[in-house]
Amino acid sequence: MQLVRNINIQAFFNIERKDKMKSKYRLNGDVVLGIILTIFGIIVLYPFYNALLVSLVPQHVYVKTPFMFFPKEISFDSYKFVFSNDALMGGVKVTVIVLIFGVLYNMLLTALTAYAMTKAIPGKKFIMYCIIFTMYFGGGLIPFYLLIKDLGLMNNIAAMILPTGFNAVYMIIIKSFFEDLPIELEESAKIDGANDLVVLFKIILPLSLPILATFSLYYSVERWNEWWNGMLFIRSIDKQPLQLVLRTIVQDASEFIDQASASQASNEVTIFADGIKMASIIATMMPVMCLFPFLQKYFVKGLTVGAVKS
């Protein structure tokens, strides 16, 4: 009996010792993982931080320390130059119009198509194959240009809104989310006399806010960064989107710096090309970065709830 008790006590201490060793290894692993993630985070975030610093320092500070951690002197001349351009506010206005109407247009078509693809409509498989086909093959740039020209959309803001109806991948994910909702909700609504549109806008969409917010953010980023269609189809300066205006500012920055250097002493020149470029980048990024925290709670959830099946 004593022997059995001693064996049990020894086994208990062995198990406790193993648990302590596992806890120690787990703690050491967490520390190493934390250090690795911290280093990786610094590598990812420092370029953005450095871009902000370059946009806030005068030229002589940047020349001495192009890679800095803390600015020795702050100057907002680069931002003054960027926002003093008359075309900038026009570009902001155009981009805001493209953003608002474009996202509403995208989300309306995406939600309607996704909801229709959950129903047993005639030719559903063929329509779905046609949508998937567009993910891998396109008509090409020249037919696209000729189509916009024949539609009379040249030099029209609508040319940056109408051609992009919806993203096929986004539609498929939202379709999968709709299919995961309880069918009893729709059936009970139809018993009360609701049609498909009422069911969609009064029941389905309110229950789909996380995934709708997620892809609204995706579409917003795409619309905010719109420049390709603007470069192809827009000729008037007052109709150019913000990205094209900032591109013009960056291209003209060197010429402006040459003129400033010719009229001032080199140590008095605070505006420089890299500072203007970084200020333009920061000015472009900030609206989206300010919008993201408000949609983050929907963003994380929406990434997973709609991607269960295709």
Instruction: For residue 164, count other CB atoms closer than 10 A to its CB.
Output: 16
Residue pair 258/271 in contact by the 8 Å Cβ criterion: no
Q: What sign has the CA pseudo-torsion 177, 182, 184, 188?
A: negative
CA angle 214–216–222, rounded 5-degree value = 110
Question: Which residue, among 179, 181, 209, 190, has the nearest Cα to 118 in the 3D structure?
Answer: 179
Q: Supply the pTM of this predicted model.
A: 0.74
pLDDT band, residue 255 (cuts 50/70/90): low
pLDDT band, residue 266 (cuts 50/70/90): very low
Residue pair 55/279 in contact by the 8 Å Cβ criterion: yes
> What tens digit of pLDDT does each residue of 28-45 get?
777 788 888 889 888 888
pLDDT band, residue 250 (cuts 50/70/90): confident
> What is the CATH number assigned to the segment(s) 81-305?
1.10.3720.10
How many whole angstroms separate alpha carbon 57 and alpha carbon 166?
A: 42
Q: What sign has the CA pseudo-torsion 65, 68, 70, 76?
A: positive
| Spans of all domains in the chain | 2-56, 81-305
Q: Is residue 263's pLDDT more than 50?
A: no
Q: What is the 3-state secondary structure (H, E, C) of 46-69?
A: HHHHHHHHHHHCCHHHHHHCCCCC
> What tens digit of pLDDT does each residue of 117-127 get?
988 888 888 99
Instruction: For residue 204, count other CB atoms closer than 10 A to its CB.
Output: 21
Mean pLDDT of the chain: 80
DSSP 238: G
Q: Is residue 278's pLDDT more than 70?
A: yes
The share of the chain scoring above pLDDT 70, in percent, equals: 80
DSSP 157: G
pLDDT band, residue 187 (cuts 50/70/90): confident
Q: What is the DSSP string of 189-257?
A: HHHTT--HHHHIIIIIHHHTHHHHHHHHHHHHHHHHT--HHHHHH---GGG--HHHHHHHHHHHHHHHH
Across 16-30, 85-99, 124-138, 240-254, least confident range: 16-30
